[in-house]
Amino acid sequence: MAYTSKAKIEKYLMVDIDSSFDNQITDWISGAEEYIKNYTGRKNGFEVSVAETRYFDGNGEREIDIDEFVSITTLEVLEANGGDVEWTLTEGMEEDYIVYPYNDTPQYKLILRPSSQIGAWYPGKRRIKVTGVFGHSSSVPKDIELAATILVASVIEKGVSGGRIRQEALGDYSVSFEDMDESDQVLGVKRILDKYKKFTL
């Protein structure tokens, strides 16, 4: 699902854009999406995936961060020297593990309970096998939609007004304008995106 659309950009700018620009606007939207993914460090974007299986390294601790997810179907701990299942864990306060944050999505942390069958997430490569729905949310967050709309609208506005070009890559499409980064609009976009930044160690 695209983060924005021509119709939303037209409403934001309060103009009608001729259909001869449709292909260019589609390219700009794709570029804005890549910019947002790169800026936030979210290479897979924001929407949830279909149910899939992912593997994670164990850390020898009782808590572990994994990819953001909306739900978990099964969680298994694998043997160190092969893919055989050593333990199948159950979610719940009186079971093996709980997920965090408790009342929000996406979730990203697995915390072992005192009643767990294992005392720690066994250290080693590909020891944790998780099947579930991964991603940030079931739809693109509204403020990310707004950020994408503003980015594309800013490119259109500066192009119309003849802004001075400055390097600012939007995916494969590389264009920007001298005063684009200083504009209140784009600074507002970056404030939105800062909330979604993922940091990796």
Backbone angles phi, psi at 109, to 5 degrees: -120, 140
Mean pLDDT of 9-27: 92
- Distance from chain centroid for Cα 25: 23
Position 144 scores a pLDDT of 93
Position 165 scores a pLDDT of 40
Contact 170, 35 (CB under 8 A): yes
CA distances 109 to 30, 56, 187, Å, are 31, 12, 31
Which amino acid is present at 93?
Answer: M
Question: Cα separation of 68 and 151, whole Å?
Answer: 26
Domain parsing of the chain, residue ranges: 6-45+139-194, 52-134
Contact 161, 147 (CB under 8 A): no
pLDDT one-digit tens code per residue, 120-172? 999 999 999 999 998 887 788 899 999 999 999 988 887 665 544 444 444 44
pLDDT one-digit tens code per residue, 20-69? 989 999 999 999 999 998 888 888 787 777 789 999 999 999 999 999 89
* 65, two tokens: 């961060």
